[in-house]
């Protein structure tokens, strides 16, 4: 059990610690919500996170990215007359800067808790996807003039699907935990789509799409939606903010947000890509980011949904074959269940690409 009290004294918080509790359902980091009685009166909550340095092995660079991007966003939000305390994450300073390294070499950070806003794991109504699309589109648009080349690439080739595929093939051939025989159908599913793995990287290498500052983990639960207005007010979980493609962000958001079931749903009859939800997200995204995107980016939005879903399923399957070394699991076959849901979505997207293209053209 983590003792938050030994961490909080390293952060400049003008109040007395009252209590803390585990918070959220992220796969990678450990997150806690801590309540303080402020010296100025009243209670206030803060988020504390322990950064998983086994995954993010250069946490100092990661935190530099987060600090620089949030500072940039804060200035732009103020300039645009917005609320910088709600529309971007706000890091709490420490003696060392914006993080604390404890005696066990764990890296900790803290943010102001944004109250009266919710992150949804599953879409409860189509308006959530519209709000999320608009929020992620605004995030991309606000960072359009941020110099992407100055970001540290803390996760090298994070969405390089071609290299992800090479790693998958290597893991299958090695089969260190003798699991490949159990998932031959899933392996075959990926191998039949080997030709798709270079589609987005080819666009980048040919110069047809630009490198941008991208979030790279655009799940619905990484958007805080205001409890009153229903608007997407803040993008969270900025650990994967990297130089990347707008198509990574759009495709990954469709992968996660348009499936009406859980990411690890075992009953695959409940798993598909909902065209109505796709339309809601696409409408919001293009309303906010459309002027920043070029024609090739807009044209490839539907295809990006297939590629990013395929990549994610392949990553889950790779981790399962490799003994569940990366993603947190809650059952023996958790990563396999996750992979199967992604592959079901891929199949459904393949059947709906023409309709998805019609929708994208309507809003582009």
Domains and CATH numbers, the chain: 5-113 (3.30.200.20), 126-363 (3.90.1200.10)
pLDDT digit string (tens) for the chain, length 364 residues: 567 778 888 999 999 999 888 877 655 678 889 999 999 999 999 999 988 776 777 889 999 999 999 999 999 999 999 999 999 999 999 987 888 888 777 889 999 999 999 999 888 899 999 999 999 999 999 999 999 999 999 988 999 999 999 999 999 999 999 999 999 999 999 999 999 999 999 999 999 999 999 999 999 999 999 999 999 999 999 999 999 999 999 999 999 999 999 899 999 999 999 999 999 999 999 999 999 999 999 999 999 999 999 999 999 999 999 999 988 899 999 999 999 999 999 999 999 999 999 999 999 9
- Burial category of 286 from C-beta neighbours within 10 Å (exposed 0-12, middle 13-18, buried 19 and up): buried
CA separation for the pair 23, 21 (Å, rounded)? 6
Nearest Cα to Cα of residue 217 among 172, 170, 253, 257: 253
Burial 226-236 (b: 16+ CB within 10 A, else e): beeeeebbbbb
Count Cβ atoms below 10 Å from residue 195 Cβ, excluding itself: 7
pLDDT at 28: 64
Nearest Cα to Cα of residue 259 among 291, 285, 228, 221: 221
Q: Are 180 and 206 a contacting pair, CB within 8 Å?
A: no
Phi-psi region of 248 (alpha: psi -120 to 50; beta: other; left: phi over 0): alpha
CA separation for the pair 140, 62 (Å, rounded)? 19
Q: Is the dihedral of CA 177, 336, 132, 30 positive or negative?
A: negative
Give the C-alpha distances (Å, rounded to integers) separating 3 from 6, 21, 40, 111, 128.
6, 11, 26, 18, 35
Count Cβ atoms below 10 Å from residue 333 Cβ, excluding itself: 17
Q: Are 258 and 281 a contacting pair, CB within 8 Å?
A: yes
Q: What is the pTM (predicted TM-score) of this model? A: 0.91
Q: Are 328 and 27 a contacting pair, CB within 8 Å?
A: yes
Q: What is the 3-state secondary structure (H, E, C) of 172-191?
A: HHHCCCCCHHHHHHHHHHHH
Q: Is the dihedral of CA 73, 77, 79, 85 positive or negative?
A: negative
Nearest Cα to Cα of residue 126 among 251, 303, 274: 274
| Distant-in-sequence, close-in-space partners of 348: CB < 8 Å, separation ≥ 6 | 271, 272, 273
First-to-final CA distance of the chain: 50
């Amino acid at each position: 059990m983590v003792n938050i009290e030994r961490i909080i004294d390293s952060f400049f918080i003008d109040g007395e610690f009252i209590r803390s509790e585990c918070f959220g359902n992220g796969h990678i980091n450990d997150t806690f919500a801590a309540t303080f009685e402020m010296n100025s009166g009243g209670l206030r909550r803060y988020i504390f996170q322990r950064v998983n340095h086994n995954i993010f092995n250069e946490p100092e660079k990661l935190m530099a990215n987060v600090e620089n991007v949030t500072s940039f966003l804060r200035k732009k939000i103020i300039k645009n007359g917005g609320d910088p305390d709600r529309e971007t994450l706000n890091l709490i300073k420490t003696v060392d800067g914006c993080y604390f390294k404890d005696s066990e070499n764990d890296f900790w950070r803290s943010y102001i808790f944004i109250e009266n806003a919710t992150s949804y794991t599953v879409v409860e109504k189509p308006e959530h996807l519209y709000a999320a699309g608009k929020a992620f589109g605004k995030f991309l648009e606000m960072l359009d003039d941020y110099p992407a080349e100055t970001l540290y690439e803390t996760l090298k080739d994070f969405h390089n699907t071609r290299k992800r595929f090479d790693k998958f093939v290597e893991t299958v051939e090695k089969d260190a935990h003798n699991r490949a025989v159990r998932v031959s159908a899933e392996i075959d599913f990926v191998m039949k789509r080997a030709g798709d793995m270079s589609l987005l990287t080819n666009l980048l290498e040919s110069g047809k799409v630009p490198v941008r500052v991208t979030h790279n983990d655009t799940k619905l639960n990484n958007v805080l939606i205001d409890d009153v207005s229903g608007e997407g007010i803040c993008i969270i979980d900025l650990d994967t903010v990297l130089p990347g493609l707008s198509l990574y962000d759009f495709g990954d958001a469709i992968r996660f947000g348009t499936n009406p079931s859980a990411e690890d749903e075992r009953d695959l009859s409940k798993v598909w890509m909902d065209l109505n939800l796709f339309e809601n997200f696409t409408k919001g995204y293009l309303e906010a980011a459309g002027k920043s995107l070029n024609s090739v980016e807009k044209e490839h939005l539907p295809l990006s949904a297939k590629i990013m879903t395929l990549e994610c399923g392949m990553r889950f399957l790779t981790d399962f074959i490799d003994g569940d070394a990366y993603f947190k699991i809650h059952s023996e076959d958790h990563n396999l269940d996750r992979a199967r849901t992604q592959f079901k979505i891929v199949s459904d997207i393949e059947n709906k690409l023409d309709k998805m293209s019609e929708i994208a053209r309507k809003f582009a």
